[in-house]
Structure 1
Amino acid sequence: MRTHRPRVGIGIILRRHDGKILLGQRRGSHAPYWSIPGGHLELGETFEQCAIREMAEETGLQIEAPQVIAVTNNLETYQQEGVHSISVCLLAHHNGAQPSNLEPDKCAGWHWFDPHSPLPQPHFDASRQSIECYLSQQFYRPLDT
């Protein structure tokens, strides 16, 4: 389904004390891609409010003070699915609790990965770009033209 304007997505890199990050294998509309937790910004919502809500809805984890670290332009997804999203990535720190899979129709499960090792594949465009920005400490990485 092609839309006439980009949508705003929110992704959350949840970093555990050992540096590993939380990834889930998506079901449904984004199957079989792996991705950081996230979703879409709702009307009147701040990026931080959305990140807190999405994390709680998907994993049951409560996060505090997530910080915006990156913006991605998800043209690969647009080319493949006709959905153009601009994603805002936030970083949050893990509080020690284990994630739950609260939306099993949307995710096969949550697992911890070292972001410096190869990411599980296939990997969702917005998530891959967000992790690349996180690792390179760049707010935005232009796509090759």
Structure 2
Amino acid sequence: MTRKQKRLSVIAGALFFLGAATTLTFVALGQKASYFYMPSDLKTASVEPGQRIRLGGLVAKGSIVHGKGAEIAFGVTDDKDTVKVTYTGILPDLFREGQGVVTEGSFRSDGEFVADSVLAKHDERYMPKEVAEGLKEKGVWQPD
């Protein structure tokens, strides 16, 4: 092998390695992506049962129901539609009716949203970016 052939083989090997690393990164990120929806967006979206999504809005007034143990059910609303959410675990301290919330999880085949994490706002003026933008588009939430 000449010096030129060795150099070309090293460059080809490096390009192959970089291509493989890039491909694996995009595949891994694609599998972890979860899309953000407001309750009224779900009417037009094609969300499959078991597909991970983020559901955001306001905790519907009068919708919080405590179940057995750490199980809780509540509604997420954008004042146009409401989605029933069930969650098992400890809720954030600032979780309450009328406050902004983002839940992550998936729909079961019966249409119920099962959350595996619940994120709530952390001070009086903060609203999660996706929730604030979605509520502003719907004309529901107005910043101070």
Fold-level similarity (TM above 0.5): no
TM-score (norm 2): 0.28
Larger Rg: 2
More helix by share: 2
Structure with the larger RCO, 1 or 2 (CA within 8 Å, 6+ apart) = 1
Normalising by the residue count of structure 1, what TM-score does the alignment of the two structures yield? 0.28
